[in-house]
Chain A
């Protein structure tokens, strides 16, 4: 399966997908770690995809979304943003409402 197909199926099969460096348990980049912390704090179930697993994945996700950096968060197939945008949305309470409106169940809101 090509990197592009892997990306597309991860997005199609999961409500919330975080393309990141490392894994949720062991983030390997401060920016990826910040988004992991926010999602864990909100108790939002998500699938972490480690783009460091292959160069094709690491480059492929940037082309797929036309976004030059990692991490990248997708909710219900839609690209929501990278670290800056997710942090800004979280601080404004918008991430919580965005996830709820998308039907994602949160264990605890800020």
Chain B
């Protein structure tokens, strides 16, 4: 049973409450999506670690029910006051 975009977004948000999540359905078959996830949790982590955090949020659906999720992750810009603090 394929997954729908809202379900993917909810799972990611549950694990990353601060995340901004955008999901694009690539094929309309519930199996091929692209997702962009921005979260402070990713700061300082490698790309592999960032993607693993998202895969864990999807509770084993990745590679099973969800065949393809083109993933782009980032920690986003450093928040303004943190930037000045670091001067």
The B interface, classified by DSSP as helix, strand, loop or mixed, is mixed
Q: Among the listed A69, A79, A83, which residue makes an inter-chain contact with B48, where contact means beta carbons less than 8 Å apart? A: A79
| Interface positions of A from 80 to 95, Cβ below 8 Å from B | 80-85, 88-89
The A interface, classified by DSSP as helix, strand, loop or mixed, is mixed
A81 to B, closest residue via Cβ: B48
Given the complex, which residues of B lie within 8 Å of A70, measured CB to CB?
A: 63
CB of B47 within 8 A of CB of A67, answer: no
A76 to chain B, nearest CB (A): 15
A84-B32 Cα distance, complex, nearest whole Å: 13
Q: Identify the stretch in B4-12, B14-22, B64-72, B76-84 within 8 Å (CB) of chain A at 4 or more residues.
A: B64-72
Residue ranges of A at the interface with B (Cβ–Cβ < 8 Å) = 31, 62, 66-70, 79-85, 88-89
